[in-house]
Amino acid sequence: MISIKLKSTFLLFTAALLLMGCGSVNIVSTPIENIDSIPLKVNELTDDEKKQWGHADLLTDTIPGMSIDKTYSEIIGKKKGATVIVAVLDSGIDITHEDLNDVIWTNKREKPGNGKDDDGNGYVDDIHGYNFLGNAYNEQLEYTRILRLKLGDEAMREKARKKLDAEYKKASDAKKNIAANKQQTEQIVEIVKKADADIKKHLEKDSYTKEEVNAIETTDANLQRSVSIISQMFSYGDSIPEVLDLIESDIENFTEGLAYYSEKLEYHLNVAFDGRKVLGDNPYDIADLGYGDGNPLNRDKEESHGTHVAGIIAAERDNNLGVNGVANNVEIMSIRAVPNGDEYDKDVALGIRYAVDNGAKIINASFGKSFSLNPEWVYDAIKYAAENDVLIVHAAGNDGIDLDDPKNINYPKDFMNNGLEFADNVITIGALNETYGSEMVASFSNYGTKNVDVFAPGGAIYSTMPGGTYKFQGGTSMAAPAVSGIAALIRSHFPKLSASEVKQILMDSGLSTKVSVILDGNPSKARPFDKISKSGKMVNAYNALIMAQKKSEEKSKLP
C-alpha cells in the first residue's frame, strides 16, 4: 500500500496538564480536547520510524501512533504488573519464533504428548492453545459454501449467488489484467537490458551517466533507439540498475497479485472445493466435538497472519531482536480457527469459549466475513465471554465500507438485527495510516459511527512472520492487536477494571481531530475524522493508562 505524503497541519495539545504518581510527572489530561494546529512532518519516515511508527507519539514525533514508547518511559517504567493472557483467535502461530517464544502461554495442567486430556477441559494435548482446523488451510468464502451446500433460505442463497458472480468476475478480470501487465513489464525489462548492453558496448564502459548517453552521436538506427530508451529510463532513476530494480519490483508485485487472485478463484470462489472434509466433523453441528488437535502452529508456509498479529501484541520487548510488542507482560494463547478463506461460526464460537475457559482476559479477533450461517452460536459465545469478564477486540474489516449501512455487515458482530448491542465487551477497530492529515485513514478500512468504535495504526505494520522473519503487512487485522496490546497493559496494571470499563477507557481516552479524511481512497467520500467512529478518536496508550488509574482509584474508594 502506497501512502502519498501531504502537507497538513499537526495537532496542538490545548488541554491542561495534571500530575500523576510519585515524582510529579507532567502528563496530558484526559479526555483531551480537539487537536488541530501546529505544522506536520512532511519528510519521508526513516526505516526505523516505519518499523515502529505505531508506537510513536503524535506531539513529539508528528506521527499518529499510540504513544507506546512515551507510555513506557513516563508511566510504566520498570513496573511489571500482573500477567495477562491474550488469546489470538486466528491462523496458526509460529510459537518458536525468536521474538515470541518467551511470551507463549503454556497450559500447566496438561502433560505434553501423552494423547490424554489431562486437565479434563475437553481438548487433548492443548499445551499452548488449540487447533480447530486440523490439517486444513485453504477454504471457501461463506457465500460460496452456502451455494455448494444449498444452505440458508432462498433469499440468502440468491444474495450469495449475486455476490459470488460479482466477485468471480472481478477476480477473473483482475487476474487477466495483472497477467497482461506482468507480460508487458517483462518485455520492457528485456528491451531496457538490451539497450543497456548496446550503450555499454558503444561506450566500452560497464557504467555510464545520463550525460554520456545524451552525448552519443550516431547514424546507427539500433543504437539511436537504445539511446532514446536509456535516456527515457534516466527519468525514473539515477542509474539503469536502479531503474531495473524498480521495474523488477513491479514484476514481483504482479506475481503476488496473480497468486492472490489465482487463490481466490481456486479456493475462495470455487463452488466445487471442500477444504473441510479432511477434518471429518460436521461444521454445521455445534455439538459435533472432538475434532482438531492440540498443535496450534501454522501449517502452511504462507500461513503468516496469526504470527504477525501475535507480534504486534507481545513481541518480546527490548531483546535487541526484530520489533517490540505493545504489551510487556502478556502470554499469547494460540487458537487456530481462521483458515485461508472464511472462518466457520462453529470454530469461532468454540474458540471463544476455549479462550474464556482457559484464562484469557482478552481475545483478539482479526477476522470477519459478510455472510454468517450460524451467527447465534457466536452471539452466545460473546455473551459467555461477557459473563466471564473477557474483552473481545475485533477488526472492522478491509472493504472500505460504511458498516452503519444495513447492507454492509461484518461478522462477528455484537448487535442483533434491531441494531442494539447485546453485550458490552466487544470493541471494533478501524485502521490508520502513518501520516496525519486527509489520508490518515487507511483506504481499505471500514468505518461507521455506530459499528466502529475507535481507530488504531493498521497501515504497513512491521511484525513477526513464520520462520523467525519479519515483514510489513497492513489491515484492520493489524489495528486490532495494537488495541489488544493496550488493553493488556490496562488489565495488567489495573486488574480491578472490568472488560466493559477497559473498552470505554480505550474509546474515551483517545485523540480526536476534526480534520477531514478520505474514505475508501475516494476524495468524494471525505468526512471529518470525528464522524467516522463511535468515539471519533484514535487510541492513545498514554491517556488510556492515565484514565485507567483514575477509574481504578475511584473503584477502590467504593464501599
Q: Per-residue pLDDT for the chain (559 aa), expressed as one digit of tens each?
A: 222 222 222 222 222 222 233 322 333 443 344 456 645 666 789 999 999 999 999 888 889 999 999 999 999 998 889 999 999 999 999 999 999 999 999 999 999 999 999 999 999 999 999 999 999 999 999 999 999 999 999 999 999 999 999 999 999 999 999 999 999 999 999 999 999 999 999 999 999 999 999 999 999 999 999 999 999 999 999 999 999 999 999 999 999 999 999 999 999 999 999 999 999 999 999 999 999 999 999 998 889 999 999 999 999 999 999 999 999 999 999 999 999 999 999 999 999 999 999 999 999 999 999 999 999 999 999 999 999 999 999 999 999 999 999 999 999 999 887 678 899 999 999 999 998 888 999 999 999 999 999 999 999 999 999 999 999 999 999 999 999 999 999 999 999 999 999 999 999 999 998 889 999 999 999 999 999 999 999 999 999 999 999 999 999 888 7
- Beta carbons of 23 and 453 less than 8 angstroms apart: no
> Strand, coil or helix: what is 512?
strand
Burial of 78 (0-12, 13-18, 19+ CB in 10 A): exposed
> Strand, coil or helix: what is 488?
helix
User: How far is the CA of 424 from the CAs of 259, 380, 388, 503, in angstroms?
Assistant: 40, 13, 12, 8
Residues of the chain with CATH 3.40.50.200: 17-139+275-557
- Beta carbons of 323 and 462 less than 8 angstroms apart: yes
pTM for the predicted model, two decimal places: 0.89
* CATH number belonging to domain 17-139+275-557: 3.40.50.200
